[in-house]
Structure formats: structure tokens, C-alpha cells
A = this chain, B = another copy of it.
């Protein structure tokens, strides 16, 4: 498996592009379109928030038949909590994309991201698509990735190529994140393409597992969004022998998909609102994978841990305290904590460590925290997050203005 360029267009038979419709006040790209040249099986996983955006509801409906040809996504407005007109607007987005592409509206998946509770000016999207045709291209992946950004500071793309029985297969993905990031089945928005030939049920299974190990293991601020959607379209253009059971090809594909999703998820964590540092939290020696995830997420969402990392302060007591209130069963007296390679807490107790070394480790952009709950092999999990800085407060103190 190797990384390649191209984002969602890396997979054969996919085009993408973006336009500025005027939903974002600053005139930047705010509408992305991704389309497969031919039919594609599709799967999606969505936010578990009880309050769900209209785009989530519509996309779930369109996914019921297990296939889709295109994804349309706007940024600058979440199309959430606006009543029945939100459903109408989301459906209009699908219709407008379908018209442009010459396909059925129910073959279009819809996504939105931005402010909640403000009616989406869908006529701007309709007009934008009418005035701009032919903006899709096989090199438009990055443009599309840029068009779904809100407070993101960089676009997020990962693509890989690997072989299934000697046939080259590709997976390409893009995502956006930044704030309201504590995904529970998906990130804010993640779109994956592949030219693999695979049965829909297995595609969905692989997506679920990949989402579990990637987007469901990051957090920025503990707030689960109303709009989280992770889509995958697979059009079979690679020409591999269709994956129809859990065989070696399936495992290879799932591994590659996990790689792409993990890469995107880590970018989302790294680009969390106001983030100055990327934090990787490895938990091992837990009684179950779920316990390892829960402990890691408790540390990753702790405002005290996140501000300490921002301040480059080796205040490891906050890490142990966050594991302590996570609700998992563990023994503090067998718990060791490392900052980078530096042991700072052994058996739940302070060890005297070199503060200068600790300061140096914490002055880096990438911080690794290792929590060994016991020395048993047992279960482990890795969680990714970012620090909590002044800029998070600044960005979110005036998001609507």
C-alpha cells in the first residue's frame, strides 16, 4: 500500500469540484460536488445526536437502496433546526446536483456544515449550479476538500493505492472538522471514494469498522455535532474480482480504508479549533477495547489536560484524574503514565523526573501521552485530540458574528 495524491479523485472514475455560491459571506468556495462516472455502491454512518440536520435525514433515505452516484456538500450553513423547510432545502440540493450530472436525485447524498438554526439559502446553491456547469474534473479533489472547510485551517485529504490479486485498487478521502468535534459514528463530514468492486453490505461493514477506529477516536471539544456524516462510494472501476465475502481481499481493503480514515481523522484532530498541538493518547492494559477508548476519551476531553498541554505544563495528575473519573474499572496503583518517552507517574504515584526534559517534550507540536493501566497485554486504544488554547475561546466566542 502506498499513499498517492488526488484526494477523492484518486479513485478511478471519480470527478470532483467546487464553486462559491455566496453562502459563505467572504466569497470563498462553499459548495463541493463529488461524482462517480458510473453506478456505485455506497454506505454511510451518521451522527448519534438526537438532533439531526435535514441533510442527515435525506442522505439516510437516499442510502437505503445501497447505492449512490454523487455527494453534494455546502459549508457555511448546517441546515439544522430550521423545521420542515430544511428537508425541502436538502432535497433541492440533491435535485440540483442530479440535474447537473444527469442522474436521479435519490442517487445524491447531501451534507451541510456551518451555523445551526439559520435557514439555508438553497436558491443560491440552485443558481450557482445553473450558472456553473462543467466545473467537475478528475483533478478537482483538493478544490472540493477546500469547499467544505469552515474554521478549518487546512484541507484534509488522504488517498492510497494497494493491490487485490494483482489489480491496483484506490481509496481516496476528504474530511472537514475543526469545532463541535466529538464524533459518535462519524466525523463532521468525511467523504471517501474507491474504485474497488465490493458488495454493499461488506462496504458498509468496512466503513463501520474504519469509522470506529478513526473518526470515533478523535475529539476536539467533546461536542457531538448534528451533522456528522461519513460517506463512501465504490464504483468497481478498478476491475478487481468483486469482494463478496470476508476473504483476504476484504481484509486488505478494510486495512486500507482504516488507513485513509485514520489519516483524515488525525488531520481533523490536528486542525481542531485554536489548536497549537496535536495529542496522541495511547491507553493499554485495559479490561476491554471499550474501556481503553473510554479512558482515552476522558483524558482527551479534559479541559484541564488540554490547557496544561497548551501551557506546556507536565501536570500529569490531571491525566490520572481524568482516567479516574472515566467510569472504567482499573487500579490506579498499577497505572504508569509517560509524556513522550518520559515516565512521569509510576504505580499511580509521582516519580521524580527531569522537568527540563518534560518541558522539551511538551514544547513540540506533536505530543504523545501513554497510559499503561496494567502490564497485562489485554486491550488498548489510541485517541487523538488537540490542546485547548485562547484561540478556541476566541473562535467560539463569536462564531455567528
Chain A contact residues, CB within 8 Å of chain B:
48-52, 78, 80-83, 115-119, 179-180, 182, 184, 221-226, 301-304, 307-308, 310-318, 320-325, 328-330, 332, 345, 347-350, 388-390, 392-401
Q: Is the interface of A mostly helix, strand, loop or mixed?
A: loop
Q: Is the CB of A320 within 8 A of B51?
A: yes
**Which residues from B are CB-within-8-Å of A397?**
307-308, 310-313
| In the complex, residue of chain B having the shortest beta-carbon distance to the beta carbon of A52 | B324
| In the complex, residue of chain B having the shortest beta-carbon distance to the beta carbon of A335 | B51
Task: Supply 7 A–B pairs (Cβ within 8 Å), ascending by A.
Answer: A83-B347, A118-B350, A119-B350, A180-B318, A223-B302, A303-B303, A392-B393
A398–B389 alpha-carbon span in the complex (Å)? 12
Q: Is the CB of A184 within 8 A of B325?
A: yes
Among candidates B82, B223, B302, B324, residue contacting A50 with C-beta atoms closer than 8 Å = B324
Chain B min CB distance to A324 (Å):
3
Among candidates B48, B119, B179, B398, residue contacting A304 with C-beta atoms closer than 8 Å = B179
Q: Which 8 interchain pairs have the tightest Cβ spacing?
A: A116-B317, A311-B397, A51-B324, A307-B396, A224-B325, A83-B349, A49-B324, A117-B350
With a 10 A CB-CB cut-off, give which of A325, A328, A330 has the most chain B CB atoms: A325
**Which residues from B are CB-within-8-Å of A50?**
323-325, 328-330, 332
A48–B312 alpha-carbon span in the complex (Å)? 28
**Which residues from B are CB-within-8-Å of A184?**
325
Chain B min CB distance to A371 (Å):
12
Among candidates B83, B311, B399, residue contacting A308 with C-beta atoms closer than 8 Å = B399
A223–B49 alpha-carbon span in the complex (Å)? 23
Among candidates B49, B304, B313, B320, residue contacting A321 with C-beta atoms closer than 8 Å = B49
**Which residues from B are CB-within-8-Å of A117?**
316-317, 320, 345, 349-350
A320–B117 alpha-carbon span in the complex (Å)? 10
